[in-house]
Chain A
Amino acid sequence: MGQIQLNQVSKSFGSVEVIPPLDLTIEDGEFVVFVGPSGCGKSTLLRLIAGLEDVTEGHVTIDGQDATEVVPAKRGLAMVFQSYALYPHMSVRKNIAFPLRMAGLDKAQQDKSVAQAAEVLNLTDYLDRRPGQLSGGQRQRVAIGRAIVREPAAFLFDEPLSNLDAALRVGMRLEISELHKRLKTTMIYVTHDQVEAMTMADKIVVLQAGVIEQVGSPLELYQRPRNTFVAGFIGSPKMNLIQGPGADKYGAATIGIRPEHIDINEEEGLWHGTVGVSEHLGSDTFFHVQCNASHEPLTVRATGEMALEYGAEVHLTPRTEHLHKFDAKGLRME
C-alpha cells in the first residue's frame, strides 16, 4: 500500500512562500515524477512528503492516516538522495542492513533481506566493500538497495541520477523502471530532466515556482499541454512557440508547433526562411530555421538523410491538426 495525499499543503521559509497551498493525490503503485526547472519547489515538495521539512499549512496523508506530525522514521517511506548519502564508515552490507537494524530485526533476517536485495541489484560481489571503493553507478544501487530492503509504502527519489554520466544514466533509468514494474510500489521521483520524466513516469507533475502547472500522463502532457510553460518544458527539442502576426492568423495569442510537425522543403510552403545550424543525430536531423513567421528561429525535425546548406532558402508548413493554440494568458484554447 502506498497512497499519498496532499491537502492544501504549503511551505514558507520565513516570509518567503516557496509552495503556495496545493492538492495532489498519488495512487498506490503509481510512478509519479515531479519535474520543473531548478528552484521550482519540486525537491521541497518531496521533502515535505518525507517529513524532512515541516509543512507550514495543510495535511499529508499516507494510506489514509494523517502523517503531518509523524517523524520521517515512522512514515514508512524510503528515500534515495542525489548524493547517495551512503554511510561511508560501513560496508555495503551494513549500509543495506541499516534500516533493518534500526527496525530491530534479528541478524538472520537482516542477512536474508540483504542477500535478496544484493541479488536483485547485482551487488553480491561488493557486499564487503566500503562505499568509497565503488563507482557512481554501484553507489546508486547501494542507495536503492538500502531503500528496498525495508519494503516501504513508497520510494522517494531526489534527482538520483544527476551525479552519473550520461551513459550510466540511461542504464540506471531502465533499472529503476524495471524495479518499479517488479515491486509495484509507489515511487515519487524528482528530476529537472524532462527526458527522465517522459520515459519513466506513469504520471508527471509539472511544477513552476511551487505551483502545479499540469498533472497527467507523459503523452497527455506532450499532446495536450495546458499552457505555454508545459508546452515549452515537455519535449526535446522544445516546442516552437510563435507570437505576433504568425499566431494572429490562427486567432490565438501564441501558437505552438513541435519540430516533428513542420514540413520542410525547398520549393513551396506557408512560411519562408533561411537555414541556420543543422544538427545531425543520424536518426534525425534538426534544422534551426530563421523564418518570417517568428522572431526566434524555429526548430524543424527531418529525416536523418536530409541535408541542407547553411544559409539555404527553405519553405516551412506546419501541420494544422497538430497546432497548439494558447490565449493571451498562455492557457490552452480548445
Chain B
Amino acid sequence: MARAVTTRQKTINSLAAWAVGLLIFFPILWIFVMSFKAEGDAIKTPLEVLAAPWTLENYGVVQERSNYSRHFANSVILAFGSTLLGLLVAVPAAWAMAFVPSKRTKDILLWMLSTKMLPAVGVLYPIYLLFIRLGLLDSRAGLVVVLMLINLPIIVWMLYTYFREIPGEILEAARMDGATLHEEILYVLTPMAIPGMASTLLLNVILAWNEAFWTLNLTAAKAAPLTAFIASYSSPEGLFYAKLSAASTMAIAPILIMGWFSQKQLVRGLTFGAVK
C-alpha cells in the first residue's frame, strides 16, 4: 500500500538522511582535507584549517620516507591471494553443504561462524609461535594463509547462500548428461554462480585489505601491507596529523575507488536471498 507523505515531511526526512550521511563520511573527508595542508595548519581549528593554503608537500614527504608502492603491492597480494585461495577451498565446501547436506550441516555452518566471534588476540600466541617455528614471520605466504583462514567462514557462508538458490535439477541434468563431479562444478555450477562469487570476492578483498590485527602483528618490513604503512605514521613523539592523513588517504583510496565502482555488485551480494 502506498503511504501518503507530505512534501514537508519529505524535506525533513531528506535533510535528516543527509545529516547522518555527512556525519558518517566526515572523518574521511577531514583526513582528505588535512592531507593537503601544511603540518602547522592541520592542527588548527576547523575553519582555520579550511582557510589555510593547499599543498602537496605531505605526499612528497610520505613518498620519500617510506616505500608506498611496496606496501601497496603487498596489500594487493595479501587481499587477492587470500581471497582466491579462500574461494578455492570454499567452493567444494559450499557445494557439499548446499547440495548434499547432512543432519549436521547447519551445525557446522554455525560453528564455523562462531569462530569469527572469538577475539583474535586469543590465538595470537599460538599462531605467533607457529609462525616462528615455521619461519613464516614477515612472509607474504604465511599471511595469505592466515587471512584466508580468518575470512573462510564468511566466504563459505556467502557461497552456500548463493548455491542454495541454484536449482538442484540443473546439476542433476548435468550428471545425467555425463558430467563428472569435477565437470559439473566447473562447467555448470561455477558459471551460474559467477555473480555470487564476484560479490564474495569483492567483499573479502575489502575485508582482507582492511585487516590490521594480524598484518601488524605478523609483519615487520618485507610483507607489510598498507595498514602497517598507516600505523608507521603514528609515532610516539607527537603526531604528524597532516602526514598521517596523507598516508591514510593513500592507503584507503584504492579500496574506496574499487568499492565505489562495484557497489551495485556488493549491495546485491549482501542482500542476496533476503528479497526475491
Tell me which of B7-15, B66-74, B173-181 binds A: B173-181
Say whether B170 faces chain A, with CB atoms less than 8 Å apart: yes
Interface presence of A288 (CB below 8 A)? no
Q: Which residues of A contact B (CB under 8 A)?
A: 50, 52, 71-74, 77-79, 81-83, 85-89, 98-99, 102-103, 146, 150
Q: Establish whether residues B192 and A102, one from each chain, have CB atoms under 8 Å apart when the complex forms.
A: no
Given A52-B175, A81-B173, A85-B173: A73 and B167 interface contact (C-beta under 8 Å) = no
Chain A residues near B183: list those with CB within 8 A: 102
Docked Cα-Cα span, A81 to B167, in Å, equals: 12
* Assembly CA distance A278 to B247 (angstroms): 86
Q: CB within 8 Å of A: which residues of B?
A: 167, 169-170, 172-180, 183, 187-188, 191-192, 194
Verify A73–B170 contact, CB threshold 8 A. no
In the complex, are the beta carbons of B177 and A102 less than 8 A apart? yes
The residues of B that contact A71 with a CB separation of less than 8 Å are 175
- A99 is contacted by which of B170, B178, B180, B188 (Cβ under 8 Å)? B178
A79: chain B residues at CB < 8 Å are 172-173, 176
A83 touches B169 (CB 8 A): yes
A331 to B179, CA, bound (A): 46
- Asked if residues B179 and A77 are in contact (CB atoms below 8 Å), the reply is no
Add 10 more A-B contacts to A72-B172, A98-B177, A150-B178 (CB < 8 A).
A71-B175, A73-B178, A73-B179, A79-B172, A82-B169, A85-B167, A87-B174, A87-B192, A89-B192, A98-B174
C-alpha gap A69/B177 in the complex (Å): 18
On whether the beta carbons of B176 and A50 are closer than 8 Å, the reply is: yes
> B172 and A146: CB pair below 8 A?
no
**A150, B176: Cα distance in complex, Å:** 11
Q: Is the interface of B mostly helix, strand, loop or mixed?
A: helix
A73/B173 contact (C-beta < 8 A), A88-B192, A89-B191 known: no
B176:A78 contact, CB within 8 angstroms: yes
- Scoring A50, A72, A74 by chain B CB atoms within 10 A of each residue's CB, the highest score goes to A72
CB-nearest residue of chain A to B180: A73
Q: Which residue of B lies closest to A76 (CB)?
A: B178
Closest to B172 in A: A52
Provide the bound-state CA to CA distance between A71 and B173, in Å: 13
In the complex, A87 Cα to B191 Cα: how many Å? 10
Q: Report the nearest B residue to A73, measured CB to CB.
A: B178
Q: Give Cα A269–Cα B110 distance, bound, in whole angstroms.
A: 73
- Provide the residues of chain B in CB contact with A86, threshold 8 Å: 170, 173
Nearest CB on A from B153, distance (A): 28
- Cβ of A73 and Cβ of B169 under 8 Å apart? no
* Chain B residues in 8 Å Cβ range of A87: 170, 173-174, 188, 191-192
Contact status A72-B167, CB under 8 Å: no
A200 to B99, CA, bound (A): 34
B175 touches A77 (CB 8 A): no
The 8 Å CB contact of A83, one of B167, B174, B175, B192, is B167
15 CB < 8 A contacts A-B: A50-B176, A72-B175, A73-B175, A74-B178, A81-B173, A85-B170, A86-B173, A87-B188, A88-B192, A98-B174, A98-B177, A99-B177, A102-B178, A146-B173, A150-B177
Interchain CA distance A312-B187 in the complex, whole Å: 67
Are B172 and A81 interface neighbours, CB within 8 A? yes
Contact A73 B176 (CB under 8 A): yes
Contacts of A98 in B (CB 8 A): 174, 177, 179, 187
Task: Note all chain B residues with C-beta closer than 8 A to A102.
Answer: 177-179, 183
**Chain A contacts for B173, CB-based, 8 A:** 79, 81, 85-87, 146
Chain B residues lying within 8 Å of A83, measured Cβ to Cβ, are 167, 169
Could you tell me the distance between the alpha carbons of A87 and B188 in the complex, rounded to whole angstroms? 7
How many Å lie between the Cα of A82 and that of B175 in the bound state? Answer: 16
Measured CB to CB, the nearest residue on chain A to B176 is A79
Separation of A200 and B218 alpha carbons in the complex (Å):
71
CA distance A81 to B172 in the complex (A): 9
A85 cross-chain contacts in B, Cβ below 8 A: 167, 169-170, 172-173
Residue of B nearest to A14 (CB): B103
Residues of B within 8 A of A50 (CB): 176
A82-B173 Cα distance, complex, nearest whole Å: 11
A98–B169 Cα distance when bound, in Å, is 15
Which residues of A are found within 8 Å of B187, using beta-carbon distances?
A: 98
Counting from the closest, the 8 A-B pairs by CB-CB distance are: A85-B173, A102-B178, A99-B177, A85-B169, A89-B191, A79-B176, A73-B178, A72-B175
* A residues near B174, Cβ cutoff 8 Å: 87, 98
CA distance A71 to B169 in the complex (A): 16
Task: Give chain A residues whose Cβ lies under 8 Å from the Cβ of B177.
Answer: 73, 78, 98-99, 102, 146, 150
CA distance A87 to B180 in the complex (A): 16
Give Cα A307–Cα B216 distance, bound, in whole angstroms. 92
Measured CB to CB, the nearest residue on chain B to A50 is B176
In the assembled complex, the CB of B53 is this many whole angstroms from the nearest CB of chain A, namely 56
- B198: min CB distance to chain A, Å: 14
Smallest beta-carbon distance B14→chain A, Å: 38
Contacts of B179 in A (CB 8 A): 73, 98, 102
**Bound-complex Cα distance A322 to B246 (A):** 97
* C-alpha spacing A81/B169, complex, angstroms: 7
- For the complex, give the distance between the alpha carbons of A144 and B270 in Å: 37
CA distance A72 to B174 in the complex (A): 10
Residues of chain B within 8 A (CB-CB) of A81 are 169, 172-173
Complex CA gap A189/B137 in Å reads 64
User: In the complex, A81→B191 CA distance in Å?
Assistant: 21
Bound Cα distance A246, B21 (Å) = 81
- Give Cα A102–Cα B174 distance, bound, in whole angstroms: 9
Distance to closest chain A CB from B242 (angstroms): 51
